[in-house]
Amino acid sequence: MKRILIITTNYSGFEDSNIKETGVWLEEFASPYLVFKETGYDITLSSPKGGLSPVDIQSLTCSNPMEWDDCIKLLRNTTPLSEIDYKSYDVLFFPGGHGPMFDLANDLLVKKVVEYFYDKNKIISAVCHGPAGLILAKDKNGKSILKDKKVTCFTNKEEKIVRKDEDVPFLLESKIRDLGARFEDATPWSEHVCVDKNIITGQNPQSALLLAEEVVKALS
């Protein structure tokens, strides 16, 4: 049985910040999770601190499928990443939401896990702001694992559309470009996924389902 390790955010925002309430964007967790579950994979949900991975309230709408409700419950009790035997997993997946920009982007254990998966040529996947969890990771030569890789994420244009471009600690597209990636984007809010060997990235919430399908394809 293939094993998938999902690492999600603990960050919920601060009152003195313009981003007062954030976390994981529900669709970016729920859609891939349900695909992985239906395929029969063994899934572990983790976060840097464990416990609650807050759901961005803006991703909670009456149009969401009912099965996403159970996914919200799972996010209330994640396992601390320090307690995970990450070497026993086949796939690493980072859902997005603005939360990862504040904790996963700076977490040294996340960096270590990503570098292990990269070194072992295991699948590394992330959607929207999830690639923030990849920006610290380097290869054995000390270069970013994203250098010369075809990568996408939530774009600068999309960040400006949602009026968060001045509130996030950095623009993820710009950071990824600075690391030497061959960044690819599509029209805002359109489905877009990049696959470059073992690195699979999606642009936005609309890309979450396709990303999960590409992960399944890569495992089969």
pLDDT surpasses 90 at 19: no
Dist. CA 206–CA 82, nearest whole Å: 31
Interval 159-174: pLDDT, tens: 999 999 999 999 999 9
Instruction: Please give the helix or strand (H or E) that residue 159 lies within, else none.
Output: helix 156-161
Dist. CA 176–CA 77, nearest whole Å: 31
What was the pLDDT predicted at 12? 93
pLDDT-derived band at 187 (thresholds 50, 70, 90) equals very high
Interval 122-136: pLDDT, tens: 999 999 999 999 999
How many domains in the chain?
1
Which residue range forms the structural domain that includes residue 198? 3-219
pLDDT surpasses 90 at 16: no
Dist. CA 204–CA 128, nearest whole Å: 4
pLDDT surpasses 80 at 142: yes
For residue 27, what are its two tokens?
């669709």
What was the pLDDT predicted at 15? 72
CATH number of the CATH domain containing 68: 3.40.50.880
Contact between 111 and 136 (Cβ < 8 Å): yes
What was the pLDDT predicted at 17? 75
Whole-prediction pTM? 0.96
